[in-house]
Amino acid sequence: MNSILKQTLISMRPLQWYKNLVIFIGIIFSHNIFSLEMWAYAIYAFIAFCIISGSIYIINDVRDAAADRLHPKKKNRPIAAGYLAPKIGLIFATFLLIIILLVSAIINMPLAIVGTLYLLINFIYTFYLKNFALIDVMVVAIGFVLRAAAGALVIGVQISHWLILCVFLMALVLSFGKRRHELIVACNSRQCLSQYTEKMLDNFLSISVGMLLMSYALYSSFVNFYMMATLPFAFYGVFRFMQLVYLNNFGGEAELILKDRASQVNLGLWIFVVILILYGGRA
């Protein structure tokens, strides 16, 4: 039983749960960082989306088990490697999804609605949409937006539409970077890769980066003028990502940027300046 639980947890890919941190944008940028009650709801939303996204990963692994066995890295996933039976994985995923959505409906109905929408979109993505170029990255980006929306709805606040746009564009940049990496290393892990070319992805990356930086700059100047002080850190972070993409073929896994020392320092400084600007006179 312990082995089954361990393999199930591995299949839920906890190392990917950092993507749900976007949920906390709502509480931070709505000037409610000192509200313990709101933090309780926001943390619950984070846990809920970790369980939902983790369960979706299990369903995805069951769906792609045959293809994963031919992949140099994915073949080691529990279901593809035979460490976890597909039937048991599906039972666990279904049970977790039913429980977390029911509990969410009791705690906060808007969160349950967004969580259900996120589940449905990703379910369709897993079985159909991920086979189509452009649509695949759009769905991923929408998933990030839904996370940000859930984080705001669960605490009953409204965040700037500029921030929502930035989240969407940031997800596009990361997704196009990942597709570029997959295409170059010829891992053939996605059917939609045949519908991309390296030059095409380079153009999509450039367009998305330009729009992302412009949107963040507009947010900084129009919504909160003092946030313009964070522009050097935001620009450096994006440019550093692009530098890694083109020098080191970076992009296979977005979390690798957190292992880059320059990016770590820059991210820490950005967070510090943001908190200082938003809460410097509110403590």
Give yes or no for a contact between 61 and 77, defined as CB atoms under 8 angstroms apart.
yes
pLDDT greater at residue 83 or residue 258? 83
What whole-number distance in Å separates Cα of residue 147 and Cα of residue 272? 23
CA distance 31 to 192: 41
Report, in angstroms and rounded to the nearest whole number, the Rg of the chain calculated over CA atoms.
Answer: 19
Q: Which helix (H) or strand (E) holds 63?
A: helix 36-63
The alpha helices in 154-220, defined as continuous H runs, are: 161-185, 198-218
Longest CA span, the chain? 57
- In this structure, the number of other CB atoms found within 10 A of the CB of residue 263 comes to 18
pLDDT of residue 117: 97
Asked if pLDDT for residue 222 goes beyond 70, the answer is: yes
Averaged pLDDT of the chain: 90
Query: Which tens digit of pLDDT belongs to each residue from 148-173?
Result: 999 999 999 988 889 899 999 999 99
The CATH architecture of the domain made up of 1-159 is Orthogonal Bundle (1.10)
Q: Amino acid identity, residue 199? A: K
DSSP, collapsed to helix, strand or coil, labels residue 260 as: coil
Greater confidence, 4 or 155? 155
Residue 123 pLDDT: 94
pTM of the model: 0.91
Residue 253 has pLDDT above 90, yes or no: no
Residue 248, pLDDT > 80, answer no
Written as six digits, the tokens of 228 are 């313009």
C-alpha pair distances (Å), 130 with each of 18, 40, 174, 189: 22, 34, 16, 11
Q: Tokens 């929502």 label which residue?
A: 164
Specify the pLDDT at position 281. 63
Q: Report the alpha-carbon angle 67-115-156, nearest 5.
A: 150
Q: Residue 224 has what DSSP assignment?
A: -
Q: What is the pLDDT of residue 23?
A: 96
Confidence of residue 102 (pLDDT cuts 50, 70, 90): very high
Angle between helices 135-153 and 109-127 (to 10 degrees): 170
On the question of pLDDT at 38 being above 60, the answer is: yes
Taking only the tens place, the pLDDT of each residue in 52-100 is 999 999 999 999 888 888 777 788 899 998 899 999 999 999 999 999 9
- Specify whether the CB–CB gap between 52 and 119 falls below 8 A: yes
